[in-house]
């Protein structure tokens, strides 16, 4: 109470001094208008839905001990491709159409490049997630854009196995989508993981939007994952005989669309205030 009173007195004194200064300044008073009128209401902004979802994903992994790592969006060939086991001229590079800034320098096509930087830094074990924006030269449509957001994860230690990978990702799905969410793993291919898999969650086909989103199967792919290929470990000066690890990559935009029932990806990025205002209280 006392502190507040002191504050009030000080504020009153300050207002009085300023008013006096103004009165004596010789400046015409009316250019300031009515100094006692209420201030214009300040409109509060909101976090962007992509950031909300990104932060929620980060939360789930932080709770089980993952740190956060970041890296540059303009990357060299080594960190984005070569160290990730994409040989030169290998057709696998076509998987991710790339925006080149100059020869061997491009906008990163995945945050896997941050994994390489982290492994090269050489502090083991590694248990980290890499949120960030990535770029691909793709036709823009309701379901794809020339940039999007990923959270990739990397866990490297002695004796890490595929069951650790599965358990970590089950944990994510249960925390994020609810304890009863069904998942399935499908065998897949990435140059930098072996074996590789994609994980789907089950949405069912009851509502029209679930039916469409899952193309009638009920299943929606939400991430790619796998055991880090020994070549990638070697490229980053980690001995694959001693260490093993898993990696995964989640698409944030896709998950945000799912979570908020957004039907067109482009809505996230056209800065329409009427859309963004809906997230003010989240
Ligand atoms: N980098 C892959 C992509 O962008 C995702 C991924 C990360 C897959 C890690 C497996 C392991 O599509």
What confidence score (pLDDT) does residue 91 get? 61
Judge if the beta carbon of residue 155 lies within 6 A of ligand 1: no
To the nearest whole number, what is the mean pLDDT of the chain? 91
- pTM of the full predicted structure? 0.83
Cis before residue 195, ω within 30 degrees of 0? yes
Judge if the beta carbon of residue 145 lies within 6 A of ligand 1: no
The edge-to-edge listing of strands for the beta sheet with 100-102 is 74-76, 105-107, 100-102
State the Cα torsion 110-69-126-200 to the nearest 10°: -50
Ligand 1 centroid to 270 CA: how many Å?
Answer: 27
172: Cα within 13 Å, side-chain hemisphere:
30
The backbone region for 85, taken as left when phi is positive above 0, alpha when psi lies in -120 to 50, beta otherwise, is left
What confidence score (pLDDT) does residue 156 get? 98
Question: Is it the case that residue 272 has pLDDT exceeding 70?
Answer: yes
pLDDT in tens, 165-215: 999 999 999 999 999 999 999 999 999 999 999 999 999 999 988 888 889
pLDDT band at 43 (very low <50, low <70, confident <90, very high): confident
For the chain, report the end-to-end CA distance as a whole number of angstroms.
Answer: 34
**What number is the average pLDDT over the span 206-225?**
91
Give percent above pLDDT 90 in the chain.
Answer: 72
Q: CA 199, 146, 84: angle at the middle one, nearest 5?
A: 55
Q: Which atom of ligand 1 is nearest to the CA of 225?
A: 10
Q: Which residues neighbour 241 within 8 Å (Cβ) at sequence distance 6 or greater? A: none
Judge if the beta carbon of residue 193 lies within 6 A of ligand 1: yes
Nearest to 247 by CA among 98, 149, 127: 127
Ligand 1 centroid to 43 CA: how many Å?
Answer: 39
pLDDT in tens, 49-97: 999 999 999 999 999 999 999 999 999 999 999 999 988 877 656 666 8
């Amino acid at each position: 109470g006392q502190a507040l009173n002191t504050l009030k007195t000080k504020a009153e004194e300050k207002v009085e001094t300023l008013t006096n200064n103004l009165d004596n300044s010789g400046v015409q008073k009316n250019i300031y208008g009515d100094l006692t009128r209420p201030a214009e209401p300040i409109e509060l902004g909101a976090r962007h839905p992509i950031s909300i979802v990104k932060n929620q994903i980060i939360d789930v992994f932080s709770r089980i001990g993952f740190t956060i790592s970041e890296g540059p969006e303009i990357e060299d060939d080594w960190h984005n491709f070569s160290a990730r086991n994409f040989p030169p001229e290998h057709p696998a590079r076509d998987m991710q159409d790339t925006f080149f800034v100059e020869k061997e320098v491009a906008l990163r096509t995945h945050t896997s490049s941050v994994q390489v930087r982290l492994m090269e830094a050489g502090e083991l074990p590694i248990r980290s997630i890499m949120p960030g924006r990535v770029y691909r030269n793709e036709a823009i449509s309701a379901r794809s854009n020339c940039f999007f957001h990923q959270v990739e994860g990397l866990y490297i230690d002695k004796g890490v196995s595929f069951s650790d990978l599965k358990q970590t990702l089950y944990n994510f799905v249960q925390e994020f989508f609810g304890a009863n969410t069904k998942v399935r793993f499908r065998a897949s291919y990435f140059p930098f993981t072996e074996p590789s898999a994609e994980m789907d969650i089950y949405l069912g086909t009851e509502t029209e939007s679930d039916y469409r989103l899952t193309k009638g199967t009920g299943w929606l792919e939400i991430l790619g994952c796998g055991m880090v290929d020994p070549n990638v470990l070697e490229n980053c000066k980690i001995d694959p005989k001693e260490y093993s690890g898993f990696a995964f990559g989640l698409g944030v935009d896709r998950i945000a669309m799912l979570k908020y029932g957004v039907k067109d990806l482009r809505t996230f990025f056209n800065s329409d205030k009427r859309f963004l205002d809906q997230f003010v209280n989240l």
